[in-house]
């Protein structure tokens, strides 16, 4: 049975992306907001959690009652649903398309440009400028929602945004164990071709390696070749549901 929870003691421990993201948002927001709600699956074979955050859902862990889980998603109707591939393949969600993603491990390789990157990093980071970069690359972003969430996670030490020369950015979204999950990789159109995003990713991966941590990121099929060309290593796959 799924029931709502209000504190982190009922979040299933784990270093995978899904449970890590749910735990990070619980740490950042707690369980008292209606726009950020957390649920747990109870039962002898269940140890899963679901997070509903604005128009998105994330699920991780074990759900023994597939039908209950499926009905829960259909009833709440989130715009996107992130969940492990094994669980996704068991579901049938009317009104949703599927998006295949690949999880990459960020390999550093030979990188000698750390000083150059550090010299070009925006400090302090301007989140409005970062939004301008992202908005030039991705459709459907809403500034108020994005800024409120990003600034909140930054203030709570969950997320680290990096902006290079005011035109390229990445975001280290959260840490789960030794894994740091990165997203928001973007470069403004006029600055593309200079390798700025690649430099940021390698720089961050190198910094993490010095702390015995590793960089991971998700890529859809459209961007798969870019990260493969960088020498990043595919380590997992999943299926995201996207509402039509």
Domain boundary among 94, 126, 155: 94
- Residues 107, 69, single domain; the answer is no
Q: Can you give the residue range of the structural domain that contains 61? A: 2-94
Q: Distance from first CA to last CA of the chain, Å, rounded?
A: 28
CA 116/CA 108 separation, integer angstroms: 16
Counting other chains too, the contacts that 120-124 makes at CB distance below 8 Å and 24 or more residues apart are: 120/164, 120/165, 121/162, 121/163, 121/164, 122/163, 122/164, 122/165, 122/166
Asked whether residue 61 is assigned to any structural domain, the reply reads yes
In the Cβ-directed half-sphere of 86, how many Cα atoms lie within 13 Å? 7
| pLDDT reported for residue 46 | 62
Asked whether residue 63 is assigned to any structural domain, the reply reads yes
Is the pLDDT at 224 greater than 90? The verdict is: yes
Phi-psi map region of 56: left, alpha, beta (phi>0 left; psi -120 to 50 alpha) = beta
How many C-beta atoms lie closer than 10 Å to residue 145's C-beta? 12
- The angle, 0 to 180 degrees and rounded to 10, between the axes of the packed helices 143-155 and 17-29 is 80
How many C-beta atoms lie closer than 10 Å to residue 185's C-beta? 20
What Cα–Cα distance (Å) separates residue 81 from each residue in 45, 50, 217, 241?
22, 10, 17, 5
How many C-beta atoms lie closer than 10 Å to residue 226's C-beta? 14
Domain boundary among 47, 65, 94: 94
Asked whether residue 109 is assigned to any structural domain, the reply reads yes
- Residues 85, 36, single domain; the answer is yes
In 3D space, the residue among 100, 49, 85, 130 whose CA is nearest the CA of residue 218 turns out to be: 100
- Residues 107, 70, single domain; the answer is no
pLDDT tens digit string along 17-43?
A: 999 999 999 999 999 999 999 999 877
CB of 199 closer than 8 Å to CB of 184:
no
The H-assigned helical ranges of 127-195 are 127-135, 143-155
Asked whether residue 224 is assigned to any structural domain, the reply reads yes
Is the pLDDT at 49 greater than 60? The verdict is: yes
Higher confidence at residue 46 or residue 159? Answer: 159
Q: What's the pTM?
A: 0.95
- Residues 112, 29, single domain; the answer is no
CA 230/CA 113 separation, integer angstroms: 15
pLDDT band at 50 (very low <50, low <70, confident <90, very high): very high
Domain count, the chain: 2
> What share of the chain has pLDDT > 70, as a percent?
98
- Show Cβ contacts of residue 222 under 8 Å, excluding neighbours closer than 6 positions: none
| pLDDT reported for residue 81 | 98
């Amino acid at each position: 049975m799924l029931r709502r929870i209000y504190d982190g003691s009922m979040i299933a421990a784990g270093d995978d992306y899904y449970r890590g993201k749910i735990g990070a948002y619980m740490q950042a927001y707690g369980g008292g907001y209606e726009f950020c709600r957390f649920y747990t699956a109870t039962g002898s074979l269940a140890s899963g959690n679901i997070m509903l955050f604005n128009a998105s859902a994330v699920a991780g862990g074990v759900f023994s009652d597939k039908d209950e889980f499926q009905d829960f998603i259909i009833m709440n109707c989130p715009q996107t649903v992130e969940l492990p591939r094994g669980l996704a393949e068991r579901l049938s969600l009317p009104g949703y398309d599927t998006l295949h993603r690949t999880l990459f491990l960020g390999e550093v390789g030979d990188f000698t440009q750390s000083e150059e990157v550090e010299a070009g990093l925006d400090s302090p980071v301007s989140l409005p400028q970062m939004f301008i970069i992202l908005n030039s690359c991705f459709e459907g972003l809403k500034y108020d929602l994005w800024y409120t969430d990003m600034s909140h996670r930054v203030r709570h030490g969950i997320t680290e945004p990096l902006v290079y020369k005011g035109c390229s950015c990445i975001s280290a979204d959260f840490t789960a164990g030794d894994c740091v999950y990165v997203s928001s990789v973007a470069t403004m159109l006029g600055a593309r071709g200079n390798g700025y995003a690649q430099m940021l990713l390698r720089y961050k991966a190198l910094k993490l390696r010095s702390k015995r941590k590793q960089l991971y990121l998700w890529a859809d099929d459209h961007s798969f070749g870019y990260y493969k060309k960088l020498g990043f290593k595919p380590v997992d796959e999943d299926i995201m549901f996207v509402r039509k």
